[in-house]
Structure 1
């Protein structure tokens, strides 16, 4: 990885209402075409971080820059136009809509209608189970298929950075492995950068280039993911396994 970061976060402070901040002075970078895993226990602040980056909550302080654009000045509904896509915890599928309708929903904002249609076709090529069930409603899909659909809908917008919040939540081990393999494929074949918040530590670190460890709203350690995977002392100290 070289050149300027795609995402720059500096001294980020964020939370909810008048309560004490959940995130306190969080700083890190995401490089283009990389996978960065944000790991930590429940309550570490991973979901709050994703919501602050996508604009669902307004930071109290700090700097957020995406490809040199000040995200603090960009409304949540326009961040996707800059190439930032957020797949929230719980997959974000509209259960009443069909697979095809969900995918087309991901490209409604795009002016290039022809490319939006191509993007939907590419998702069907990438996810054969979705192509076979394109007329099925979201609630008829398995957990793994819903995860494919949520990712596919985000990809229809041609993002440069995917924010994924607990994509393995509730999935069987085989589906988790398939999801992680897909993220590696997106990075390697499409140069899409991924910021991945996960409790599935082994899975996340198996595909990530870099690991960010959070605890109680603070970034406590960052290192190449390989160092966290291969160093038992670091894993036990920061991740508990």
Structure 2
């Protein structure tokens, strides 16, 4: 077990958004976090990466209790977070953005492997962030996270605002990374069909609580659950 979450309650101020959430993620596993707007999906990722402090519960990563670990140190434990919105430094080049992801490492990150994953970025390595398309900025945000060589990638809404072709490329990349490197992914995604097509497991949230955790194929085939919680 790579990540074990037990009884996690968290939110903003005194009002909890997540209520006693429990689940696990194994190595080489893609877990899709699904649910309607307001279900608590983004709050979950922000809590796991240390941006939000939990009110109660336990988060254990590879045997290490992460309670109280500062957000800037999470990457040293092997957790990288790609927030919603393709947050790249627009004044820096593609190369410089990728190097930021590995700043904490003693050696400079090996960028050739990342450029192999994203050939479009290799062609624009000297371009500034603001010169990239939306799809290229999303690739850059993911690439910067991968430069830290994480064991768990927290990925929030990677398809937001992107063309279906680019979305398919990113989803295929996640599956390839899992198979080749053993990377585990916790994927928040509104495009339920796309997420379930690459995920091993689906975790469904409703109003901050876990409704079910099941094999992705089983969730995709559960018409009652899909209509009730996933909108299709």
**For the superposition of Structure 1 and Structure 2, which TM-score range results when normalised by the shorter chain?**
over 0.9
Are 1:145 and 2:141 matched, yes or no? Answer: no
Are 1:15 and 2:6 matched, yes or no? Answer: no
Are 1:78 and 2:73 matched, yes or no? Answer: yes
Q: Which residue of 2 aligns with 1:111?
A: 106
Alpha-carbon contact 2:138-2:158 (below 8 Å) kept: yes
Specify which of 174, 177, 182 is matched with residue 168 of structure 2. 177
Structure 1 stretches (4+) deviating beyond 3 angstroms?
none
Specify which of 59, 68, 74 is matched with residue 63 of structure 2. 68
Q: Which residue of 2 aligns with 1:87?
A: 82
TM (norm. structure 1) is: 0.94
CA distance in 2, matches of 1:154, 1:231: 34
TM (norm. structure 2) is: 0.97
Higher helix share: 1
Are 1:6 and 2:6 matched, yes or no? Answer: no
Are 1:121 and 2:112 matched, yes or no? Answer: yes
CA distance in 2, matches of 1:78, 1:202: 34
- CA shift, 1:140, in A, is 1.1
- CA shift, 1:16, in A, is 0.8
Structure 1 SS opposite 2:16 = coil
Are 1:101 and 2:108 matched, yes or no? Answer: no
Count of equivalent residues: 232
Structure 1 SS opposite 2:22 = strand
Alpha-carbon contact 2:32-2:199 (below 8 Å) kept: yes
Gaps of 5+ in 1: none
Gaps of 5+ in 2: none
CA distance in 2, matches of 1:234, 1:50: 23
Q: CA RMSD in A?
A: 1.0
Are 1:239 and 2:230 matched, yes or no? Answer: yes
CA distance in 2, matches of 1:123, 1:158: 11
